[in-house]
Amino acid sequence: QITLKESGPTLVKPTQTLTLTCTFTGFTLTTSGVGVAWIRQPPGKALEWLALINSVDETAYSPPLKSRLTITKDTSKSQVVLTMTNMDPVDTATYFCARRLTNSGAKYFESWGQGTLVTVSS
Amino acid sequence: EIVLTQSPGTLPLSPGERATLSCRTSQSISSTSLAWYQQKPGQAPRLLIYAASSRATGIPDRFSGSGSGTDFTLTISRLEPEDFAVYYCQQTNNVQYTYTFGQGTKLEIK
């Protein structure tokens, strides 16, 4: 069974750095074609992809947010960590991590964590 | 950057009816790069369709995807009460290695 779970602070102050951890079970991030992504959703709004790391440590970032994001993985702990610097109230959102699979050229987010709500406020 | 435009924004229908949801991309894309998700309130999204027309594991066959180029469609043949939710399309850019979601279509009970 595939599970992903996000953890981290629920409240951060403006200008602070957010660190979120995705802990997953049921798969390994060493399998070719597998990746873990972070996706967020402001209250009442649409999904926004943030970052992804794959089995060979290649990373990809949302262009508008690239300068603020870092994604890393710890394969031994089955964890992926996202850091986002200089947090602002507009970054208030539910943050999801998701497993990305690759199948005959198709890439998609096949399993998702439950999400964690992060509020940015002083 | 490829922009995904979903229509309509809200679709009021009754159980038993057929739902047709549209996702248009700002430039032509490969069908393999288009996926659809369902999201219910307070829940994470669930993968429905990948590669434009392939159903994900466990997805009922009343859900189907079609399309090519810039026009893609998610069809729910006969709505069940549990199908009322928000639906998102998502595109993978295999050149820039980025992922983009549409703004969503809310399927609501009429």
- What is the percent of chain B where pLDDT is above 90? 96
**pLDDT-based confidence at residue B34 (cuts at 50, 70, 90):** very high
The span from the CA of B98 to the CA of B91, in Å, is 8
| A96 interfaces chain B, CB cutoff of 8 Å | yes
Of the candidates B76, B81, B7, B89, the one whose C-alpha atom is nearest the C-alpha of residue B47 is B89
Which A residues, 97 through 116, put their C-beta within 8 Å of a C-beta on chain B? 98, 103-115
Chain B CB within 8 Å of residue A32 CB: no
pLDDT in tens, A64-112: 999 999 999 999 999 999 999 999 999 999 999 999 999 988 999 999 9
Q: Which residues does chain B have within 8 Å of residue A71's beta carbon, measured at their own beta carbons?
A: none
- Report CB contact under 8 Å: B98, A62: yes
pLDDT at A24 over 90: yes
Q: What is the pLDDT of residues B56-90, one digit of tens each?
A: 999 999 999 999 999 999 999 999 999 999 999 99
Q: How far apart are CA B79 and CA B87, in angstroms?
A: 14
Contact B50 A46 (CB under 8 A): no
Q: How confident is the model at residue B1 (pLDDT cuts 50, 70, 90)?
A: confident
Chain A positions in Cβ-Cβ contact with residue B90 (cut-off 8 Å): 47, 49, 108-109
Query: Secondary structure of A7-60 in the HEC alphabet?
Result: ECCCEECCCCCEEEEEEEECCCCCCCCCEEEEEEECCCCCCEEEEEEECCCCEE
Say yes or no for a CB contact (<8 Å) between B50 and A114. no
